[in-house]
Amino acid sequence: MTLTKETRVTLNDGNTMPILGLGTYAAPDVPKSLAEEAVKTAIDVGYRHIDCAFITGNEMHIGNGIRSKISDGTVKREDIFYTGKLWCTYFSPDMVRKGLERSLRDVGMDYLDLFLMHWPVSLKPSGASDPSDKDKPFIYDNVDICATWEALEACKDAGLVRSLGVSNFNRRQLERILNKPGLKYKPVCNQVECHVYLNQNKLHAYCKSKDIVLVAYSVLGSHRDRNWVDLSLPVLLDDPILNKVAAKYNRSSAEVAMRFILQKGIVVLAKSFTPARIKQNLGVFEFELKPEDMKTLESLDRNLHYGPFREVKQHPEYPFHDEY
Ligand code: NDP
């Protein structure tokens, strides 16, 4: 199938998701106005899928960007696929809807296209009862992921969100949701770190077998924000083999890194706040990697997590103790 920027994948609930999305995470010191401008540029050049999260702290700015493109007539609300994420301090069933309503208010929408459980680990802020307090150190909580999921299902029934999914779940955690007695809606996707150094083949095969779409983040080797990423890890876009393949196609290493994941049937998120790169990254739809080059890129896998979220490593639901 020829991939274009208009290509969408059909989710297991019948809704569709554009195969390329704009990522919006930036370190806290990056001016929020850049996020708003990036969203406007992205919509102007044809992106229709925007990925964000409460914890990113810029839903308001992303929402401003989207709404300004709706009010100038470039797009309609229904053209945009907006993903939000329920932060881990909102997992208790009585807080789930509040977490979603907080995102709806910040982004200025009356529904989200997709809402994800951000990580499978429930947390609570220490010494405060306000789950929106991002600056307080958090402590572990023990809310069952299935209880959170049921509360999310109620939010879909209430029309606040069109599709429900998860992020950073391992196979066992996906199975727990899928095997939950009385399950009403399956997760439509699992959004995970996925790139040439972490190709997620096993998790992808499992998700595919359950009609769950894999959505890849950090495809370009992550934001490399020191708050989340160990900066001694190799810079993915500098990889010599990736660059050799890119030279062969006269493309950037970013385009090849993204194309590799797209050709595996995985939805790609790529973050850029640089207008020229936002446009350049659409070049992924202008070439196709040959099977031998896909094979070469497969060989780069080294199970490398740029964002292992080590702060929750002792949490009973920490997802990366399992092989996948
Ligand atoms: P990416 O792998 O998308 O990389 C982003 C970095 O690549 C930025 O520094 C950007 O720079 C740079 N970049 C973009 N395009 C190019 C290019 N053509 N050439 C060279 N450099 C380029 O990073 P993320 O880790 O941010 O992942 C993408 C998105 O996935 C996030 O923004 C977020 O929406 C989501 N995510 C979800 C997580 C989850 O737990 N569910 C965790 C992490 C991310 P610049 O902006 O300066 O152009």
pLDDT in tens, the chain (324 residues): 799 999 999 999 999 999 999 999 999 999 999 999 999 999 999 999 999 999 999 999 999 999 999 999 999 999 999 999 999 999 999 999 999 999 999 999 999 999 999 999 999 988 767 888 877 788 999 999 999 999 999 999 999 999 999 999 999 999 999 999 999 999 999 999 999 999 999 999 999 999 999 999 999 999 999 989 999 999 999 999 999 999 999 999 999 999 999 999 999 999 999 999 999 999 999 999 999 999 999 999 999 999 999 999 999 999 999 999
Cβ neighbours, 10 Å, residue 110 = 8
User: Is the minimum distance from the CB of 252 to ligand 1 under 6 angstroms?
Assistant: yes
User: Is the minimum distance from the CB of 280 to ligand 1 under 6 angstroms?
Assistant: yes
Cβ neighbours, 10 Å, residue 187 = 28
Ligand 1, atom 36: closest residue by C-alpha? 217
User: Is the minimum distance from the CB of 148 to ligand 1 under 6 angstroms?
Assistant: no
Provide φ and ψ at 295, rounded to 5°. -65, -40
Ligand 1, atom 25: closest residue by C-alpha? 222
* pTM check: above 0.95: yes
| pLDDT attached to residue 167 | 98
User: Is the minimum distance from the CB of 190 to ligand 1 under 6 angstroms?
Assistant: no
Q: Which atom of ligand 1 is nearest to the CA of 167?
A: 41
Let me know the angle formed at the C-alpha of 18 by 235 and 51, rounded to the nearest 5 degrees.
55
| pLDDT attached to residue 129 | 72
Name the residue ranges covered by the structural domains of the chain. Answer: 11-230+265-275+302-319
Provide φ and ψ at 151, rounded to 5°. -70, -35
Ligand 1, atom 9: closest residue by C-alpha? 223
Beta strand pairing call for 138-140 and 123-125: antiparallel
Identify the DSSP state of 128. -
**What distance lies between CA 193 and its chain's CA centroid?**
8
The Cα–Cα gap between 13 and 19 comes to 16
| pLDDT attached to residue 128 | 67
Plot region of 222 (φ>0 → left; ψ -120 to 50 → alpha; else → beta): left
11-230+265-275+302-319 — its CATH code?
3.20.20.100
Ligand 1, atom 46: closest residue by C-alpha? 272
Q: pLDDT tens-digit profile of 82-98?
A: 999 999 999 999 999 99
* Residues with Cβ within 8 Å of residue 232, at least 6 apart in sequence: none
